[in-house]
Chain A
């Protein structure tokens, strides 16, 4: 029976959904190994402490809150020092992070400071005696590796959306802590976090992803995709590399081998042929729908449901139908 650490990702004064997923994953690990405690840590500017109790609802026994005016933006050095110190003193069997821009930055730094390795993009995990075995996609998801982690703690970063945040109310006792180093002394400084698109759902977190490709013919036709996303209400908009290379959409919207990896409940590919590099970013989606005028397009080989047709006719009709369906729910 050993305690498990969870890093809870925040942005500004908000806890991100992946933070609840990390706590849920840590709870599962603790329970599977005989029922240790889960200790969750979050850092942020004044206002973050008020959000901390939410974390207890997902199975955290203790919540370490590091609130500091110098943490309005992510500070890699403050986060690394603070998290590594806590993990060192806590004697945890495992530490759980998220495979996000922040988690990919933080988890290897913390692990290196602890003298242990790390596996990112973890799809699932098992306790095996004294160690943890995780599944991790390699070769752009065309090969799945089972990896044994012998180190203590085992440091892992979960892929977003593979563990659903599960309500499991625990004591959630709040412990206030100071950053391990003064944010004013950090060498690397995030001077600004620019929010893109004001409150829209993120690709990695959205339960539904609608992605557009060259078949949309022009940047302005992404409105069709945006409209379908808004009909769902819980959808984010992505794009293929061809589209982001042409500047129709920002690079950060690119789904694929060199871009974002997504695993939503529902993925709708609009005018996307299905190049290997694109499939690498979305093939683990639960249900895939494709709309394309070419019935030979490779996207239909991975799609659960396909419609062969003109996206300019099919997508507006689908948008209307989804809007109707949502009304009756």
Chain B
């Protein structure tokens, strides 16, 4: 099988973000970056298929500045075979612009499956996978939490609000990965050494002018300091009174 996985380098979210001087970007000073969790699960899904299907090849693609090569190398150290860096000064917020640049590269690859994470936590928009599928005219299943591939067909499960969908699709197809599909493997020392020698092709990304633009970033208002109503079950009547008379939610 020929499998592609599109991955994004994202900052660690466990910090207090600062807005950059331009007011439209996050100050990156001091942030730690790694592969998006959902994308790591997408890489793992591709590698599990590769493990089961001899002769398979997994290509990892990332769009962005030179630093995204670290993210591609991480996926190569997990076991992917080659990388493609679509070089761009920055990653735009506009999902269609990204999808167009990716589909221009993907359409010539002859891939049986193209994986994406279902979303990235930084832009939190979650649209690039299905948009790319639409541009490529390929069947697409989003946010899958289980996957079986057999004889040119796939079956996946999607979590809905209070329900699940069981979905069948033909290959080639585009899949976006939700949490719960798998646990991503950690790169082994041998994998890290091997990754250094794996091919990483660098090409310019063809990015159209964005139709949607981030005009301003702000930190959300701090929640006003709450209060401890009391200790133990004795505090329950006071809590109920506050929920009724102050918060008016009961």
Contact = CB atoms under 8 A, between A and B. Distances in A.
Interaction A to B: yes
Interface stretch (A38-46, A177-185, A211-219, A307-315): A307-315
Contacts of A203: 161-162
Nearest to A197: B162
A308 B140 CA distance: 48
A306 B165 contact: no
B104 interface: no
Contacts of A243: none
B161 A189 contact: no
Nearest to A198: B162
Interface stretch (B81-89, B117-125, B196-204): B117-125
Contacts of B232: 307-310, 313-314
A111 B160 contact: no
Contacts of A116: 96, 211
Given A105-B142, A307-B228, A11 B163 contact: yes
Nearest to B209: A150
Contacts of B140: 76, 109, 188
Interface residues of A, number: 97
Interface string B156-168: 0011111111111
A120 B127 contact: yes
B179 A147 contact: no
14 contacts: A108-B131, A111-B131, A112-B130, A115-B96, A117-B96, A133-B215, A142-B219, A142-B220, A193-B160, A193-B166, A252-B159, A252-B164, A257-B13, A310-B232
Interface of B: 11, 13-14, 16-17, 19, 26, 37-38, 93-97, 99, 118, 121-131, 133-135, 139-143, 145, 158-170, 173, 179-180, 210-220, 223-224, 226-233, 235-237, 239-240, 242-244, 247, 249-250
- Enumerate the 9 nearest inter-chain pairs by beta-carbon distance, A residue then B residue, closest first: A108-B127, A112-B134, A309-B232, A317-B233, A202-B161, A251-B180, A112-B131, A117-B96, A266-B249
